[in-house]
Structure 1
Amino acid sequence: MLLTQNKDFRYLYLGQLFSVFGDWIKTVSLIGFIYHLTQNANATGLLFILAIVPQIFISFISGPFIDRFNKRNLIIFLDFIRFLLGLLLVCVMYTENLFLILTIILITNIFSAIFIPTRSAFIPQITRKDEIVSANNILLISFNVTMAVSTAIGGIILSYIGSYNVLIIASIMYLISALLVLLIKASKGDDSQDTPKRFNSSYLKELKEGYKFVRDSTLLKSTFLLNGIRDFVLGAVNIMFNTVILVSFSMGDTGIAYGYTATALGYIALGFFSKKLIKQDMLENNRKLGNFCLIFITLYGILLGIAFSMDSFWLFLLFILIMNIPQGLLNISFESSIMHNTKDSHRGRVFAFLGTFTKLGYVFGLSLFMILSNFISIVTYSWVMCLMLIAAGFINKKISSI
């Protein structure tokens, strides 16, 4: 098993569990604090805007910066900065100045927008090629289970120890993550370096080189296409999910908790399928990957349409659980194919561009649903998205065959 055999990946994995746990208990705490401060539920939406916007803009321009530096050291630096910013946020919250609080949150999210592609680009440096699928599988499952667990724990401990103490705990999680990554010594990457790379070209030139690298790769273009469409759909699905539970089924907060539990169980079940279905030779072959994606994006779309057509809450949860298996398989295959087919010298830029592209898709999907939801039922919209996913799968298969 990868976690027992690869000590370096184990340190990264444990560090990220602490980091993700800190992210989610911090989110729960901030939602409650900002609502308390403003007495306006809509104000909490600013938290999600401040999380998405840096991932669109900062991710795009951060690629050359990530590729220039040692990724292990960069992860440690970013975690330590987020630890300090977390403590600063606690101090600023005592002022109850909303502008200052949101400014610190935005600055923290800027560093997080650099951290996410850096982590993805670092994984191939501490794993062999035949371990990449397992690594992505373990991280995806663990992150989603941690999300479900930490939001529940965050809500419970918040009522006992208060927002300030929860945020201090969340900040300490980043420090623990940095210390665990500090223990990583080996590097199995293709051309990683322990010292910063020489700045032989301008930042803008390196940015353009990264864009050209993606544009000239059939595999990367198809990966970007399917990722963008999938996140476009997810932007709408996340609103539809809450709306159906709260309005159609009238299940309240308990129903939301059940919904996230079903999602987490779907990702746990995913682990069984990913090991059997995602093979290394498929990740290196455009045609095989195109066929794989067509099958599972079609399955994802059909299950999506069925789930949001259910009249029974428990059947809805069942299909939500099943739906996340093909969706998760697509996610693992996308991440793994990029790790397999890019060099360390370009990987940071590729993941940074991908982050921007997918978040734009997510925002457009969310916005379009909010506009059209007054005119189209959720059931109809879910089947429209099903057709969109299937069409994207066929277009991608054609691109992969070129």
Structure 2
Amino acid sequence: MDVKLIKQKDFSLLILGKLVSLLGSNMQQFALSLYVLELTGSATIFASILSISILPRLLLSPVAGVFGDWFDRKKTIVLLDLLNFIIIGIYAAIFSINGSITIPMIYVLVILLEITEIFFGSAMSAVIPSIVNKDDLLDANSFNSLVMNIGQLLAPLLGAIIYGSFGLKLVMIINSISFLLSAISEMFINVPKKHKKPESISIKAFKTDLKEGINIIRSNKFISTMISLGTIINFVVAPIFSVGLIFIIKEVLNATDFQFGVFQMVLSASMIAAPIFASGYIKKIKVGKLCYFSFISIALSILIMAIIPSRNILGRFNSNLIPYILLSIISFMVGVFATIANISMGTIFNQVTPIELMGRTSTVFNLAVTVFIPIGQMLFGYLYDIISPSYVIAISGLILIVAVKRYKTALTELDEEEDGIRGDVINEI
């Protein structure tokens, strides 16, 4: 990674602001996970809280994508961070008065934060490509991934300490303040005004601009292939990490809050290791080959993971320590492979998509690959309640292997397209 990026004021302030808000958000997400499981003890209810976020995403992603390209991106991200500061601050005040928050209130909080995240993500998608050169995009994305994952590494540990000592209220107060600090940091960033607002805002203008983003996705083989494969991968893999492993560690292994926090740190550590040690390889290996290797490695690791929570394995140990360590090691491997693939795909996506269309294109892309995540969370969350977690994880691994094999040819063909893509980018420069 190129250290000159760190010396750029705009890039450094952007990363700093994102890191602060990420720390607060992940601490709150960690604390809410423990809070909900303590109240209910049900993987189904826990999964439903995660899954409810798809409703605003389905309804608002197209609107957010177009608006993200229409309006000043700097003003948008600052205002949305301030809005999050207010929302979470209100919830902290309610918790202080009542001494608790109910499950329905948590549903509302998740929906509100998802709405702001949708519009924030649309505006933010073009910020890094706007403030760094195209030649530096891989390094910028790698460094962004590194710093954000350092935040994810620290957040569970801090969350476990604060939640265990002071409860959910203080976690929400800290998260609220983190968004305020992030907004202040973003106020000093110079983001080129490359948004393209129509002369007259109308439904017709909205439809025209939305179709323009969709057409880019349809016409680009790389993007359309990754949407198809990404949808299947997210359907089976996301529930493992958002529901399955949390349920196994807390309810099957009966791990402590501290052990749970350390496990989350292990996942984040894997995502830190990838950009540090693999950025050079990402530049050398063709994206199709890299993605196929990463995805098939994830699938095989998941099949191995399925053995650990089985009765035969658990019955061989007097404590949960060995199964806990084995789960942590395999999860670390999955995190490394997933991060390598994400950095590579994200960089190519930034290179092939015009900045003025980045908002609407990225939101349509993200919606397409995430729309089945809540369905998978609900389905697999229900399965975790009624059958052995080993069977559920094994099903996920088998589905993933079939999907990756199905798209192996398409991934190989991407390598033939990649040189053309990079050549076009060089010609544009």
TM over 0.5: yes
What range describes the TM-score normalised by the shorter chain of this pair? 0.7 to 0.9
* Matched position secondary structure for 1:331: helix
- Long gaps (5+) in structure 1: 283-287
Shift of the alpha carbon at 1:184? 1.0
| Paired amino acid for 2:273 | A
Correspondences of 1:219-258 after superposition (within 5 Å)? 219-238=222-241, 239-246=243-250, 249-258=253-262
Equivalents in 2 of 1:6, 1:254: separation in Å? Answer: 37
Aligned-residue CA RMSD (Å): 3.1
Correspondences of 1:225-304 after superposition (within 5 Å)? 225-238=228-241, 239-246=243-250, 249-279=253-283, 288-304=286-302
Equivalents in 2 of 1:17, 1:385: separation in Å? Answer: 35
Equivalents in 1 of 2:375, 2:126: separation in Å? Answer: 26
Match of 2:349 among 326, 338, 341: 338
Equivalents in 2 of 1:29, 1:235: separation in Å? Answer: 19
CA contact (8 A) 2:153 2:266 kept: no
Give the equivalent residue in structure 1 for 2:398: 384
Equivalents in 1 of 2:266, 2:245: separation in Å? Answer: 12
CA contact (8 A) 1:226 1:396 kept: no
* Matched position secondary structure for 2:194: coil
CA contact (8 A) 2:160 2:261 kept: no
Q: Which moved more, 1:150-159 or 1:24-33?
A: 24-33
| Paired amino acid for 2:224 | K
CA contact (8 A) 2:146 2:276 kept: no
CA offsets, 1:8-65, max 9 Å, x none? Answer: 11111000011111212333454566678xx445565554234443334322331111
TM-score by length of structure 2 reads 0.80
CA offsets, 1:122-162, max 9 Å, x none? Answer: 21011111222222222223333322422321232235445
**Using a 3 Å threshold, how does the CA distance of structure 1 residues 3 and 162 change in structure 2: closer, same or farther?**
farther
1:134 paired to 2:155: no
**Using a 3 Å threshold, how does the CA distance of structure 1 residues 393 and 159 change in structure 2: closer, same or farther?**
same
- Long gaps (5+) in structure 2: 314-321, 418-429
Q: Which moved more, 1:44-53 or 1:216-225?
A: 44-53
Shift of the alpha carbon at 1:362? 1.6
CA contact (8 A) 1:245 1:256 kept: yes
Equivalents in 1 of 2:214, 2:266: separation in Å? Answer: 38
Equivalents in 2 of 1:101, 1:304: separation in Å? Answer: 31
CA contact (8 A) 2:198 2:205 kept: no
CA contact (8 A) 1:57 1:356 kept: no
Percentage identity across paired residues of the two chains? 21
Q: Which moved more, 1:6-15 or 1:248-257?
A: 248-257
| Paired amino acid for 1:114 | F
Correspondences of 1:2-401 after superposition (within 5 Å)? 2-30=4-32, 39-42=39-42, 47-93=49-95, 94=97, 98=102, 102-185=107-190, 187=192, 192-193=194-195, 196=197, 198-199=199-200, 201-238=204-241, 239-246=243-250, 249-279=253-283, 288-310=286-308, 311=313, 312-313=322-323, 314-370=325-381, 374=387, 377-378=391-392, 380-397=394-411, 400=414
* Matched position secondary structure for 1:168: helix
Q: Which moved more, 1:303-312 or 1:369-378?
A: 369-378
**Using a 3 Å threshold, how does the CA distance of structure 1 residues 369 and 46 change in structure 2: closer, same or farther?**
closer
CA offsets, 1:243-285, max 9 Å, x none? Answer: 4434665545454334222212211210234311222x87xxx
TM-score by length of structure 1 reads 0.85
